């Protein structure tokens, strides 16, 4: 049903500026669950490719077969409906198989950053209550450190080459283990505090599951599809509860919005989407589900930091959809070989995760002939929120218009909507917006306004057409290359470093990352050195959270009640 009426056009001025062919709303009820959406594509496109990784292809039919086997194996472990299963994998075919298997088995996906430290991994496993995990062997040593403090009873250990063919896959796994030495020694215990533990290899789980029936799952719109963890204002990350309805809506909203650009290809099944952003991150995750919805295929890039290798991958075949954060667009532009590529097939360059730079956007258009289209969203909204029209040919400097079925309002601290042109908190409401944070009653009370809008913490201004421009951040969050970093978490960790009396973390402008972390430290031990603090951070914080700058001070600015004033530490513009 299209909700465009004279009344809604008044309340939603952006509808009048939608590109031709974009509906005003989407209908998630056409699928009873996200699982149903996925399974429809698995059957309909069985003979077509779903992914290519290191020049090894996987079809939808193979994804159907592998995910059914892994899903049946998980069900045979006796996990209850809705059980949380963690996924700690990079962009390799095993990720798609595992995510699909968990959903088809009727469980909840808990995505984990593979580069997490033991401390970060332990918190997420304990907070989510994950009972099983599928993990790449490269990161198993981290799991070994914490597994006895968690409820995890079933572990599936994948190797890099598991789904890359028998001989080539074995060679890749050997090279990763013994030549590159990227697999630290580990020994996972077969029992723990919660009883006996099952530990098997990925291919063994597929083999055992292939002879078992996959029972149909009973998931519906209200079932939890993903616990998507995001930074926490209290210093600990928290899980955004994304239901099947939320994720279906986000997928259909992206499909509707992208249609004017990608429709040029004719059959969307021919689209080659580049999956260089990590699939555990909500931005890439949502786009991977959109590719499955289309029956298109993804080029999986396990290590996009290797820019020369990434460029070599792009040379292999025409590519149509390239999503990236501003830093990745920049890194590609600095590579001379990238500039020599054939961009005639590139239909859409989707920027998100962090603010897009006008300079980068202009250079990108000059080199590729394809405009960078900036959008905005959150883990809490399935990465969907606002986006510039995909038919744009120039950089707008805004985050665009609300997508179909979404309301965006600029509100004051009391939740009152402000007039056009006024600055206030960007608030969002729609079928893609999370139910709330997992087991965070107090946090949820302040997360929504009385009329059901999610408070985002971003401060913006909406013009008369419905375009919004972000002007500030209400929260102290630091945005590093598209990843949320909360100062409170850093301060809680760094305060445990021997010799630190107190500390404060802020974000500072950075040409490569958008923002970088700077930490101010007051010493209790005068012999404490910068490298001591840096080493402690390396051991306890994943890469993007580690401070780029460490500055020692005799004292920190504080309010009259003793609260550290981070704003007083920020450089004056």
Tokens at 540, concatenated: 């306890």
Same fold, 35-219 and 242-473: yes
User: What is the pLDDT, as a whole number, of residue 573?
Assistant: 61
Extract the residue ranges of the chain whose pLDDT is less than 50: 1-9
Q: What pLDDT is stored for residue 8 in this prediction?
A: 40
Q: Are 436 and 444 in contact (CB under 8 A)?
A: yes
* Domain regions of the chain by residue span: 35-219, 242-473, 478-569
What is the per-residue pLDDT for 5?
35
Question: Cβ distance 304 to 281 under 8 Å?
Answer: no
CA dist., res. 481 & res. 475, Å (int): 17
Residues 109 and 99: their CA atoms lie apart, in Å, by: 7
Q: What is the pLDDT of residues 222-233, one digit of tens each?
A: 999 999 998 655
CATH of the domain spanning 242-473: 3.40.50.12780
The pLDDT assigned to 2 comes to: 39
Question: What is the secondary structure of 337-368 as a DSSP string?
Answer: TGGGS--TT--EEEE-SSPPPHHHHHHHHHHH
User: Which H or E element spans position 166?
Assistant: helix 166-174
Report d(CA 416, CA 409) in Å as an integer.
9
Please tell me the predicted confidence (pLDDT) of residue 196: 87
Encoded tokens for 143: 């799991």
Q: Are 460 and 470 in contact (CB under 8 A)?
A: yes
Query: What pLDDT, in 10s, does the model give residues 3-36?
Result: 333 334 458 999 999 999 999 999 999 999 999 9
Q: Which CATH class is domain 478-569?
A: alpha beta
What is the spatial distance between Cα 42 and Cα 100, in angstroms, rounded to a whole number? 10
- Whether domain 35-219 has CATH 3.40.50.360: the reply is no
Give residues with Cβ within 8 angstroms of 391, minimum separation 6. 19, 260, 261
Backbone angles phi, psi at 434, to 5 degrees: -55, 160
Contact 94, 304 (CB under 8 A): no
| Model confidence pLDDT, tens digit, residues 357-405 | 788 888 999 999 999 999 999 999 999 999 999 999 888 889 999 999 9
Phi, psi of 33 (to 5 degrees): -165, 165
Report the C-alpha gap between 149 and 48 in whole angstroms.
43
Distances (CA, A) of 371 to 13, 317, 356, 384, 450: 25, 21, 12, 20, 39
């Amino acid at each position: 049903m299209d909700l465009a009426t004279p009344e809604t056009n008044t309340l939603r001025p952006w509808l009048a500026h939608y590109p031709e062919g974009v509906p005003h709303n989407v209908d998630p009820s056409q699928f009873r669950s996200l699982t149903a959406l996925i399974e429809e594509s698995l059957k309909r496109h069985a003979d077509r490719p779903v992914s290519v990784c290191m020049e090894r292809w996987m079809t939808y039919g193979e994804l159907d077969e592998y995910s059914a086997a892994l899903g049946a194996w998980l069900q045979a472990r006796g996990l209850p409906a809705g059980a949380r299963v963690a996924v700690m994998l990079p962009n390799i075919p095993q990720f798609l198989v595992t995510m699909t298997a968990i959903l088809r088995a009727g469980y909840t996906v808990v995505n984990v950053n593979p580069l997490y430290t033991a401390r970060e991994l332990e918190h997420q496993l304990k907070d989510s209550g994950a009972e099983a995990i599928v993990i790449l062997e490269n990161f198993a040593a981290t799991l070994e450190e914490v597994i006895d403090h968690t409820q995890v009873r079933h572990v599936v250990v994948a190797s890099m080459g598991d789904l890359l063919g028998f001989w080539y896959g074995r060679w890749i796994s050997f090279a990763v283990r013994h030549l590159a030495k990227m697999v630290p020694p580990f020994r996972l215990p077969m029992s723990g505090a919660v009883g006996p533990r099952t530990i098997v290899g990925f291919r063994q789980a597929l083999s055992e599951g292939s002879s078992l029936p996959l029972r149909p799952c009973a998931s519906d719109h209200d079932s939890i599809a993903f616990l998507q963890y995001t930074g926490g204002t209290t210093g600990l990350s928290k899980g955004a509860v994304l239901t099947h309805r939320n994720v279906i809506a986000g997928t259909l909203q992206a499909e509707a919005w992208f249609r004017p650009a990608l429709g040029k290809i004719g059959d969307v099944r021919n689209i080659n989407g580049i999956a260089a952003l990590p699939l555990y991150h909500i931005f890439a995750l949502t786009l991977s589900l959109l590719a499955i919805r289309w029956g298109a295929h993804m080029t999986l890039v396990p290590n996009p930091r290797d820019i020369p290798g990434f460029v070599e991958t792009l040379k292999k075949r025409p590519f149509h959809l390239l999503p990236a954060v501003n830093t990745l667009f920049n890194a590609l532009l600095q590579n001379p070989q990238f500039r020599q590529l054939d961009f005639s097939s590139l239909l859409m360059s989707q920027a998100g995760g962090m603010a897009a730079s006008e300079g980068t956007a202009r250079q990108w258009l000059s080199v590729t002939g394809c405009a960078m289209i900036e959008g905005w969203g959150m883990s809490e909204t399935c990465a969907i929120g606002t986006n510039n029209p995909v038919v744009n040919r120039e950089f707008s400097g805004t985050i665009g218009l609300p997508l179909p079925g979404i309301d965006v309002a600029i509100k004051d601290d009391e939740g009152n909507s402000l007039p056009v042109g006024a600055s206030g908190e960007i608030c969002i409401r729609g079928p893609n917006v999370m139910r709330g944070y997992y087991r965070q009653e107090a946090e949820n009370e302040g997360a929504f306004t009385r009329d059901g809008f999610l408070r985002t913490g971003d401060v913006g201004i909406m013009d008369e057409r419905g375009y919004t421009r972000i002007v500030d951040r209400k929260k102290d969050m630091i945005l590093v290359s598209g990843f949320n970093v909360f100062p409170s978490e850093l301060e809680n960790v760094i305060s445990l470093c021997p010799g630190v009396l107190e500390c404060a973390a802020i974000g500072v402008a950075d040409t490569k990352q958008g923002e970088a972390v700077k930490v101010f430290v007051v010493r209790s031990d005068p012999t404490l050195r910068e490298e001591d603090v840096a080493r402690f951070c390396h051991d306890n914080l994943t890469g993007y959270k580690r401070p780029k700058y460490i500055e020692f001070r005799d004292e920190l600015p504080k309010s009259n009640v003793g609260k550290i004033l981070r704003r007083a530490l920020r450089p004056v513009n």
